[in-house]
C-alpha cells in the first residue's frame, strides 16, 4: 500500500531534525536520543500503513506536531550564543525531558487507536529514562569543560562588547540559579574575567533582560531606521515583539539606557504599549515589548470595514495615551497612525515614543531622509528644525485623525514633499475628508493651529461621555452656567483641581442638541486673563481685578490640600468674577467680531455665537444684566 503524503513530509522533517542535532554542540547526544525515538515511531507508523492499517488523522497530526515542535526547538537552540547556552544548560535538559514525555503520551494514543499493544516497541521505549540520566551527566561534564576552556570562550566572545555582555549576564545568573547550575556559570564567569582587564561592567537595571530569556523568530517582520522587528516569546510563553537596534557605540547606548529608563517609569497605562524589558549590553541592543496582534491603526482600519465603527473610540484611547505621556513630561515626537497600534481587545496602544534616539542617531538615515518620511504629520515649527513639544505632538495627532478618517496619509493629493512643507509653514491644512463630522473637523482645526500656543492640548480629564460610537472631545475655558462638577486632572505640570462646566445648545439648523464640557483650569484662566487685558484697549473696556484675598502668589487658583471651606469660598469668588468678565466679553460682541476673543474662547465661531448668547441669558437671569 502506498504511504500517505503526511508520512513523506514526516520523513523530510526527520532528516532536517537529524541535521540540526549535529549542530547543537554540547547537547548533541541528548538531541539525538529524541530523534532516535521519533525515527522509531515513524518506522512503526510506516509499517502499519503498509500493512493496510488505516491511521487516524488525529494520530498523524499529533506526530507531525511532535516533529515540528522539536525541529523548532533545535533551530532556536542552534542560534544561541555561548552566553545563552551556558545559562540555559539545565533548562535545555528539562525541555528535552518534556519531549520524551510527549513521545510517551503519543505512544499511548497510538496503541489505543490500534486497539492493541505494540509490545516490542513498548519495551524499547521504557529504557529512555535511564539513558537520559546518563546523558545529562555527560552533558554537564561537557559544559564544565567549556566553562574552563578560555580559548573557546575567547573565540566566541571576540569583542569587548561581547565580553561585557557575558560578564554582565553570567554575574547576574550565578546569583539567581541552583547550586548545581551555579558551578558551570561561576566557572565560565571567572575564566572570562581573567582575560577581560579594563572592561567596565555595571550592575544591570531593573528592566534588564538577557537573550536567554527571549526566543526570536528567524526572520524579521519589519525593518527601518530603528533596526529590525522580530516576533518571539518571552520566558517561553508570552508572545512579544522585539526591536533589535543597529550596532551601537557607547554614546548611543547611553541614549538608549536613558530612554528605556523613561519608558520603564511610565510602563503602566492601558493605552501605552507595555515594555517587558530591554538589553543594553548585547552587541545589538534590543527591546522586548507587548505584541499588538492587530497591527497599526491605519492597517487595522483598512483591513476590516467594520473597524470604522471603532474609529473614534480608538482615536480617543490614543489621545488619552498621548496625554498620559505628556503628564509624565514625555514628548512622543513621531505621532502618526503607524505608531498607534491596536492590541488585544481592539484597544489602542501608543508605540515608539521611546525611540527618538534611534531617529537622531541612526547612521543609515540622513536628516533629510528622516524629515521626508514624517513631513506630512509634522508641525510647522518642527519642519523648520525645532525640537518636538507637547504642542507639536497634538498637531501630529490632528494629522493622524485625518489619516485615520480618510484612509490616506495627510496631503495625499500632493506628491511633492517640498510643496507639503510650504503649505504647512503657511498654516494650511489638508482638505477636509468628505465624511468627517463637523465636531471632528473642529477638533483637528483646534489642534493644528499654526502657532503652538494657539493649539488645543487634550488633558487627562475623567469622566468623559460617549455618544454612540462617537466620543466628543472638546476644550474651552469658561462657564455657561454655574453647575460645577469637581474632578481631579493630571496636567502637564502638576495635579490640580478643576471644575467642569456644562453647556447645552441647539444649532439653528434643527439638528440634535449638543453638550459641551468646558474644563476650567485656574492656571489657564490666569494666562488668558492677562493676555486679554493686554490686547483689549482700555478705551474699549476695563476688566475688573480679581479680589486680592483670593489670590495665590499674585494669581488666583486652588492648591491641592486646601480645606473644603477655602475651596468653596474661592470657587464661588472665581465663579462670580468669571461671570463679570464673560459679561463684558459678551457685551463687546455687539453684533460684530472681536478678534481678541478668538484666542480667549477656544471654540469655533458658530459655537461661540450660541455660547455667548447662552451666557448672556444666564448672566441676565441669575446675576442681573451688567
Phi-psi domain of 105 (left: phi exceeds 0; alpha: psi -120 through 50; beta: other): alpha
Measured in degrees and rounded to the nearest 5, phi and psi for residue 279 equal -125, 120
User: Three-state SS string across 114-141, please?
Assistant: HCCCCHHHHHHHCCHHHHHHHHHHHHHH
Euclidean distance between CA atoms 244 and 370, whole angstroms: 19
Per the CB < 8 A criterion, the answer to whether 320 and 340 are in contact is: no
Which ranges of 328-451 would DSSP assign to H, the alpha helix?
356-361, 367-374, 380-383, 390-406, 417-425, 438-447
What's 212's DSSP letter? G
208 by DSSP, 3-state: which?
A: strand
Closest CA to 499 of 509, 488, 491: 488
Residues 6+ apart with CB under 8 A from 398: 443, 444, 445, 446, 447, 448
Sign of CA dihedral 119, 121, 123, 129: negative
Closest CA to 353 of 393, 382, 314, 293: 393
Residues 6+ apart with CB under 8 A from 385: none
Q: Is 559 annotated as a binding residue?
A: no
- Asked, as a colleague might, if the bond just before 463 is cis with ω within 30 of 0, I would say yes
281 by DSSP, 3-state: which?
A: coil
Sign of CA dihedral 335, 337, 342, 346: positive
Q: Which long-range contacts (CB under 8 A, 24 or more apart) does 511-515 make?
A: 514/439, 514/472, 515/465, 515/472
Per the CB < 8 A criterion, the answer to whether 244 and 284 are in contact is: yes
Closest CA to 371 of 383, 362, 361, 387: 383
Binding-site annotation: residue ranges for ATP: 243
Binding-site annotation: residue ranges: 243
Amino acid at each position: 500500500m502506498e504511504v500517505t503524503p503526511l508520512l513523506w513530509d514526516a520523513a523530510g522533517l526527520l532528516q532536517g531534525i537529524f541535521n540540526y542535532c549535529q549542530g547543537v554542540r554540547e547537547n548533541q547526544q541528548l538531541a539525538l536520543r529524541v530523534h532516535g525515538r521519533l525515527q522509531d515511531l515513524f518506522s512503526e507508523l510506516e509499517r502499519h500503513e503498509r500493512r493496510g492499517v488505516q491511521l487516524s488523522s488525529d494520530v498523524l497530526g499529533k506526530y507531525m506536531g511532535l516533529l515540528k515542535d522539536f525541529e523548532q526547538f533545535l533551530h532556536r537552540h542552534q542560534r544561541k550564543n555561548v552566553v545563552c547556552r551556558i545559562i540555559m544548560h539545565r533548562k535545555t535538559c528539562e525541555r528535552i525531558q518534556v519531549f520524551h514525555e510527549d513521545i510517551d503520551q503519543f505512544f499511548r494514543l497510538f496503541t489505543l487507536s490500534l486497539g492493541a499493544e505494540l509490545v516490542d516497541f513498548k519495551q524499547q521505549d521504557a529504557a529512555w529514562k535511564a539513558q537520559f540520566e546518563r546523558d545529562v551527566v555527560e552533558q554537564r561534564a561537557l559544559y564544565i569543560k567549556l566553562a574552563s576552556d578560555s580559548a573557546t570562550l575567547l573565540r566566541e566572545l571576540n569583542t569587548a562588547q561581547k565580553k561585557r555582555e557575558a560578564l554582565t549576564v553570567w554575574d547576574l545568573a550565578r546569583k539567581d540559579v541552583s547550586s548545581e547550575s551555579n558551578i558551570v556559570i561561576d566557572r565560565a564567569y571567572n575564566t572570562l574575567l581573567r582575560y577581560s582587564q579594563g572592561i567596565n561592567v555595571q550592575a544591570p537595571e531593573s528592566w534588564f533582560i538577557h537573550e536567554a530569556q527571549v526566543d526570536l523568530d528567524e526572520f524579521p517582520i519589519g525593518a527601518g531606521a530603528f533596526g529590525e522587528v522580530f516576533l518571539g516569546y518571552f520566558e517561553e510563553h508570552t508572545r512579544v515583539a522585539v526591536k533589535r537596534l543597529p550596532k551601537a557605540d557607547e554614546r548611543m547606548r547611553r541614549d538608549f539606557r536613558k530612554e528605556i529608563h523613561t519608558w520603564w517609569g511610565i510602563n503602566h497605562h492601558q493605552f501605552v504599549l507595555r515594555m517587558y524589558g530591554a538589553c543594553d549590553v548585547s552587541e545589538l541592543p534590543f527591546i522586548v515589548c507587548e505584541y499588538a496582534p492587530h497591527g497599526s491603526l491605519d492597517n487595522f482600519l483598512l483591513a476590516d470595514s467594520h473597524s470604522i465603527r471603532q474609529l473614534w473610540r480608538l482615536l480617543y484611547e490614543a489621545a488619552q495615551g498621548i496625554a498620559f505621556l505628556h503628564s509624565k513630561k514625555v514628548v512622543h515626537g513621531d505621532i502618526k497612525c503607524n505608531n498607534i497600534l491596536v492590541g488585544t481587545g481592539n484597544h489602542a496602544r501608543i508605540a515608539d515614543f521611546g525611540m527618538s534616539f534611534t531617529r537622531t542617531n541612526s547612521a543609515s538615515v540622513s536628516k533629510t531622509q528622516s524629515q521626508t518620511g514624517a513631513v506630512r504629520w509634522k508641525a510647522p515649527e518642527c519642519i523648520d528644525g525645532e525640537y518636538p513639544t507637547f504642542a507639536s505632538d497634538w498637531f501630529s495627532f490632528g494629522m493622524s485623525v485625518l489619516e485615520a478618517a480618510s484612509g490616506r496619509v495627510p496631503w495625499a493629493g500632493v506628491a511633492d514633499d517640498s510643496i507639503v512643507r510650504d503649505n504647512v509653514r503657511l498654516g494650511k491644512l489638508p482638505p477636509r475628508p468628505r465624511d468627517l463630522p463637523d465636531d471632528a473637523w473642529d477638533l483637528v482645526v483646534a489642534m493644528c493651529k499654526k502657532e503652538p500656543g494657539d493649539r488645543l492640548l487634550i488633558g487627562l480629564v475623567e469622566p468623559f461621555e460617549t455618544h454612540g460610537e462617537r466620543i466628543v472631545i472638546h476644550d474651552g475655558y469658561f462657564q455657561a452656567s454655574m453647575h460645577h462638577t469637581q474632578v481631579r486632572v493630571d496636567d502637564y505640570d502638576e495635579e490640580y483641581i478643576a471644575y467642569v462646566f456644562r453647556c447645552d445648545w441647539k444649532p439653528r439648523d434643527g439638528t440634535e442638541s449638543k453638550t459641551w464640557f468646558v474644563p476650567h483650569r485656574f492656571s489657564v484662566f490666569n494666562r488668558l486673563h492677562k493676555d486679554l487685558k493686554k490686547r483689549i484697549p482700555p478705551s474699549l473696556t476695563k476688566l475688573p481685578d480679581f479680589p486680592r484675598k483670593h489670590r495665590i502668589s499674585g494669581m488666583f487658583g486652588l492648591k491641592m490640600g486646601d480645606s473644603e471651606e477655602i475651596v468653596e469660598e474661592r470657587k464661588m469668588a472665581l465663579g462670580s468674577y468669571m461671570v463679570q468678565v464673560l459679561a463684558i466679553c459678551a457685551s463687546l460682541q455687539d453684533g460684530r467680531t472681536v478678534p481678541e476673543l478668538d484666542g480667549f474662547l477656544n471654540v469655533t465661531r458658530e459655537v461661540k455665537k450660541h455660547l455667548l448668547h447662552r451666557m448672556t441669558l444666564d448672566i441676565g437671569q441669575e446675576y442681573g444684566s451688567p
